[in-house]
Structure 1
Amino acid sequence: MSILDPEIWTGRLYSSGWRKGSGTPAAVSEAATGTRLGTIGTATADDVADAGAAAAAAQPGWAATSFRERAAVMHRAVAALEAHRDDITDFMIRETGCTRPKAAQEIVKAVGELTASAALVDGPCGDLLPHETPGVLSMARRVPVGTVGVISPWNAPLMLAIRAVAPALALGNAVLLKPAPESPVSGGVLLARIFQEAGLPDGLLHVLPGGADTGEAVVRSPHTAVISFTGSSAAGRRVGEIAGGMLKRVVLELGGNNAYIVLDDADLDAAVNNAAWGSLLHQGQICMATGRHLVHESLADAYVERLTAHVRSLTVGDPTRPEVRVGPLISERQADRVHEIVTASVAAGSVLRAGGTQDGPFYTPTVLDRVTPEARAFHDEIFGPVLPVTRFSDDDEAVELANATRYGLSAAIHTGSLGRGLALAGRLRTGMVHINGQTINDAPHVPMGGTGDSGNGGRYGGHWNLDEFTQWQWVTARATPGTYPV
C-alpha cells in the first residue's frame, strides 16, 4: 500500500490519530488536469483547540525523552521518505504541478532537513556562567518553547513544512501544522505518515488542513508559543499582527522580488543558464525565484537574444510527461494574475520577446525586455514564468535598481571579478546573495530568511533553529541554602 493511499486520509485529518475533521471536507485535485485525487478532512477552531490541548499534554514527556531517541525518530523519518520516494514523487507532481526533477530535489532537501535536525540535539545546549558566590552553579540552558504552530505554503509543500516541523520536534516541542489548502497531502498528510512510520509518539504532531480561519486559530491558540509562517507578505502581516498582540514569537519567511545582476564582465552563457533556472524552476512559483534581470547595457541585447531562444525551446504541459520542462501554475486564477501583470507591463512600454500566452493554468515562459521600474513586472512579485530584463549603465545604477523594492530575500551577481562581486553584495539590502550563482539557494545548515516585505529577519537552518524553537532558562544551584539579612 502506498504511504499516501487515499483510504488513509480521505475525509480525515491527523490529530491524535486519523479522525474526521469538523470542517467541510475539501477536494484534493491534480494541478494540471483538475482531476480529483481525493477529499481531505478540514479542521475548525474546535479541532485546533483539541489539538493544542493534546499537544500540550504530550510535549513534556517528549521533552524529557533522551536526545538520542529524538534523533532516532528523525533518522527513521528519513528512512520512510527514502522507502516511499517513488510514490511521494508521483503524488507531488500531480498535486502541485511540479516537474519530476523538482519533486525529486524537494525530497532530497527534506531528507537533509531531517538529518540536520537529528544533529541539532547532541550539540551544546547552554552556557556555564560565573556566579558571585563561590560554589554556586550558574548556567543558562535552552529549553523547548512547548508547542510550535507551523503554517506552510503550497509551492514547496514538503520541504517548507519539514524545515520547521523537524527541528521543532527534534528540540523537544510539539507541533500544530496547518498546510496550504492547495497541497494538504504533500504538505500535511505526508509529514503525518512519515512520522507515524518513524514512531513519533501520539499527540506531538497534529496536521490540521483548512483555510485562513484554521490558520488564524493556530496563531491564536493559547498553546502555541511560537508561530512559523511561510507565505505571502500580506498574510504574513496578518499573522504578525495577531501574534504580536499575544506576545508570541513569530518567524516570517515571506515573498521576494529578487534581483539578478549581470555585470559587463560576466560569462554570458553561464549567466543565461543560471538566469533561466532561477526564473523558471517550478514555473517561477518560488519565493527566491529571479524576479528582475538587471543586465549591463553592453550585454543586454545578446543576453535577451539567448534567453529568448532558450525559453522558446522549453516544452510546456502536463508534468507527468517526461519531456515537459514547464508545468502548470497552481491554479488558473494564478495564471490569470500573471497574464494581467505581463499585459500591464507591455502597455507601460516593456517589449514582449517571447511567450505571453495562457491556456488555463499553463503560461508560456515569457521574456520582457526594456522593463522600467514603473512597470508591474519590475515591482510586483510575479510568481510565474516571466523573465523581466532591465538595463543599467554602471555598478551604482545596478545597486540602485536592485534595492528599489520592498522585498529583501535573495539576489545573485554575475561577474568575472570576485572582488567586484563581493563589494557589490555588501551594498544590497537582502538576506542572501550568491556571486556567480542564481537566486534559488538553500541548505539545511545555513541561515535562511530575509528582511523588509520578505520577513522579519528570523532564520531557519542549522543552529539558528535553536533561536527560534527554544528559549533560554537561567538556573542556579547550590549545595546548601544561602542566608540573607532580613
Structure 2
Amino acid sequence: MSDALLLKPTIWQEHVFTGQWVAGSGNVLPVTAPASGETLGHIGSTTSEQLDAVADKSHEAAIAWGDTSYDERAAIMRQAARTAEEHQDELIHWLIDESGSTPAKAAFEVAISIKVLHEAASLPSRAAGELMPSTPGRLNIARRRPVGVVGVISPFNFPLYLAIRAVAPALALGNAVILKPDPRTSVCGGVSIARLFEMAGLPKGVLAMLPGGGEAGAALVENRNVAMIQFTGSTAAGRKIGETAGRLLKKVSLELGGKNSLIILDDADLDLAISNATWGAYLHQGQICMSSGRILVQRDIYDRFLERLTEKARSLSVGDPRSGEFALGPLIDKGQLDHACDLLSRAKASGGNVLVGGETDGLFFKPAVVSDVTTDNPIFHEEAFAPIAVVIPFDTDAEAVALANNTEYGLSAGVISRDAGRALRLGEQLRTGLLHINDQTVNDEVINPFGGVGASGNGTSVGGSSNIDEFTQWQWLTLKGEAPAYPL
C-alpha cells in the first residue's frame, strides 16, 4: 500500500468531483458506518442546476476524449489499475467501514474491480467495426463510435465494483462519464473511482462524480447532453428511469433486482448443497441482486436439507466487521432493516414458518430460514435484500421449473446435481439471464456478459464483449472516389 492516502478526507470532505474537487451545491451528506452509526465524514451533494452545468462541460470533453488515441486511453486504464493495486488495503478498509462489508467480501470486491480496469485497458485496441461488401468503387464500413456522455447511477451493495464496471469501459471506449453513486456509499463507490482516474491522468471534465439523491438522479436522466444511462438498482427505480429514457429516446441499460432460484436435485451431495445455499442466501447479508432468494429442494432430501441449513444459519456469527471476523455484517440502513422485518412478518402471517433467525440488534439481522412457503406468500415473490433463506420442496423436475419461473424477475439461477446433463436440461427451461449448473446464483467474473430479463432488466448486458455493444453506437460510413451523377 502507498504511504500517501488515496482517499484523504481533506480532498473530498463536503466536495464533489467535476474534474477537480469543488463544493457541492446541495446539502452536505453524512458518511456513516452502518455497523456503529459513527460519522466518518461528510460528502458534498449536487443539485439539478450544478449537474446541468457539469453535463454541458462533459459534452464538450467527450468530443476531445473520443478523438484521443486508443493507446492513450488504454494507458490511463492501466495506470488506474496500478493505483488501485497500490491502495487496495485502503479501498478494502473503506468498503468495510462505509458499506458494512466483511473483510473477505471487501477484498474480493477490490480484486474484481481491479480486474475491470485491466479488462477495460484492452477495449480501446479492439476492432472498432466491420468492412462490409458493396458495389465496386465504394468502401462500405460499419464502425463503432462513442455515444457521448454516459450517466452511471450505482447502488450501495457492491458500491465500488458495480460503479467501476460501467465507468471504466465507458471511458475506455471514448465516452465521458457522470457518476452518481448511492449517497450511502459515496466514498467507496464514488470518491474512490474519481481519485483513481484523477491520479491516472484522465483529462479534466471527462469524468464527474456527483453524489445525491433522487433529484440528482432524475436530473441526470433528463439532461439533454447525457446520451445514455447505465443504472444498477431496484426494479421500481429502474422502471421510472426506463420510462424517462424511452420518452427522451436515450440509450439505457437497466440492471435490476431478482428473486433467484437455487434448485437442489435429489442426487445432490448434501454437504455441497448446504455450502452453496449458505453462500447464495447469506453472502453480504443477502444484499445482492443475485442472492438465492428461493432454495428449491427435491422432496426426498428436503427434511435433511432443511435441518442442516437451519443448523448452519444458527452457527453464523453476526457483528461489526471492523472489530472481528464475522460471517455477516450489518444491513445498510434502517430502511432496509424495516423492509426485511416487514417482509418476514408478512411471510409468517401468510403461513410461513421461521425456523431460525430474524432477530435484530441495531442494523444487525440474524440469518433466517423460512419453510412452509406457498406461491401466494409474499416472500415467495418479493426480493428481501436481507439474509433470509426461503426453502421450498418440489417433487419433479417439471415442478421445479414451474416454481422457478413463477416470478416477474429473470436474473440468475443455479442447479445442483451429480448428473450435469439432467441439471442442464432443467436449467435450459428457466427464463433467466444467468444460469449456473452446479453452482449457486451469485457469480460474476467481469469477462462475462451480465444482465437479466423481465423485471431484472431490459435484456442488455454489461461485462466482457458486451461492453462494446453497450457503450458505443454504430455508424455506417461509405466512401467513393468521387460523387456519382444521379438521374434526377
Where on the TM-score scale, by shorter chain, does this alignment land: which range? over 0.9
State the partner residue of 1:12: 15
Runs of 4+ in 1 over 6 A off after TM superposition: none
What is the aligned-residue identity percentage?
Answer: 49
The alpha carbon displacement at 1:372 in A equals: 1.4
Residues 1:81 and 2:105 are matched in the alignment? no
Could you tell me how far 1:322 is from its partner in structure 2? Answer: 2.9
Q: Is the 8 A contact 1:413 1:437 kept in 2?
A: yes
Match of 1:431 in 2: 433
- State the partner residue of 1:278: 280
Letter in 2 for 1:211: G
For 2:127, the equivalent position in structure 1 comes to 124
How far does residue 379 in structure 1 lie from its aligned partner after superposition? 1.0
Hey, what does 2:246 align to over in structure 1? 244
Using structure 1 for the length normalisation, give the TM-score: 0.98
Determine the structure 2 residue equivalent to 1:178.
180
Counterpart of 1:466 in structure 2 is 468
For residue 347 of structure 1, report the CA deviation from its aligned partner: 2.3
Distance in 1, matches of 2:464 and 2:91, equals: 26
1:16/1:54 contact within 8 Å kept: no
Q: CA deviation at 1:481?
A: 2.7
- Spell out, residue by residue over 1:148-199, the C-alpha distance to the aligned partner (whole angstroms, 9 max, x if none): 0100000001000011100100000000111001111111111000001111
Deviation at 1:461, TM superposition (A): 0.9
**Aligned counterpart for 1:346 among listed residues 345, 348, 351:** 348
> How far does residue 396 in structure 1 lie from its aligned partner after superposition?
0.8
Task: Give the 3-state SS of the residue equivalent to 1:281 in structure 2.
Answer: helix
Aligned with 1:22: secondary structure?
coil
Partner of 1:369: 371
CA distance in 1, matches of 2:23, 2:38: 23
Match of 1:42 in 2: 45
- Structure 1 residues 102-126: Cα deviation after superposition (integer angstroms, max 9, x where no partner): 0001011111111111112211111
- Cα distance in 2 for partners of 1:341, 1:306 equals 24
Q: Is the 8 A contact 1:120 1:462 kept in 2?
A: no
1:217 partnered with 2:219: yes
SS of match in other structure, 2:184: coil
For 1:281, give the aligned amino acid.
L
Q: 1:239 is paired with a residue of what secondary structure? A: helix
Q: Residues 73-110 of structure 1, C-alpha deviation per residue, up to 9 Å, x if partnerless?
A: 11111111111111111111010001000000101111
Q: What amino acid is the match of 2:112?
A: K
Shift of 1:333: 2.4
Q: CA deviation at 1:16?
A: 2.6
In 1, Cα distance between the equivalents of 2:126 and 2:99?
36
* Range moving further from structure 2, 139-148 or 330-339: 330-339
Encode CA deviations 1:9-67: one digit per residue, 9 max, x unaligned.
11110013100011111111111011001111111111111111111111111111111
- Structure 2, unpaired ranges of 5+: none
- What are the equivalent positions in structure 2 for 1:86-97 lying under 5 Å apart? 86-97=89-100
What is the alpha-carbon distance in structure 2 between the residues aligned to residue 373 and residue 154 of structure 1? Answer: 30
CA distance in structure 1 between the aligned counterparts of 2:181 and 2:144, rounded to whole angstroms: 28
Contact preservation (8 Å) 1:332, 1:362: no
Counterpart Cα distance in 2 of 1:485 and 1:243: 42
Cross-structure match for 1:57 = 60
Segment drifting more, 352-361 vs 165-174:
352-361
Alignment of 1:403-442 (within 5 A): 403-442=405-444
Match of 1:107 in 2: 110
Quote the Cα distance in structure 2 between the aligned partners of 1:387 and 1:130.
55
Q: Partners in 2 of 1:347 and 1:136 — Cα distance? A: 71
Once the two structures are TM-superposed, the CA of residue 443 in structure 1 deviates from its matched residue by 1.6
- Determine the C-alpha separation between the residues in 1 that align with 2:316 and 2:168: 36
1:135 Cα deviation (Å)?
2.1
TM-score by length of 2: 0.98
1:371 shift after superposition: 1.6
Instruction: Work out the CA distance in 1 between the residues paired with 2:19 and 2:87.
Output: 23
Q: Which moved more, 1:473-482 or 1:121-130?
A: 473-482
Partner of 2:194: 192
One-letter amino acid matched to 1:58: A
Give the alignment of 1:396-407 within 5 angstroms: 396-407=398-409
Structure 1 residue 249: deviation in Å?
0.8
Find the partner of 1:315 among 314, 317, 322: 317
Instruction: Identify which range, 374-383 or 339-348, moves more after superposition.
Output: 339-348
Distance 1:24 1:331 in 2: 19
1:14–1:207 contact (8 Å) kept in structure 2: yes
CA deviation profile, 1:371-429 (whole Å, cap 9, x unmatched): 21122221110000010101111111101100111100000001111111111111101
Q: Distance in 2 between matches of 1:124 and 1:110?
A: 24
1:333–1:361 CA contact under 8 A, matched in 2: no
Task: Report the secondary structure of 1:16's partner residue.
Answer: coil
User: Hey, what's the Cα distance between the residues in 2 that align with 1:348 and 1:61?
Assistant: 59
Three-state SS of the structure 1 residue aligned to 2:31 is strand
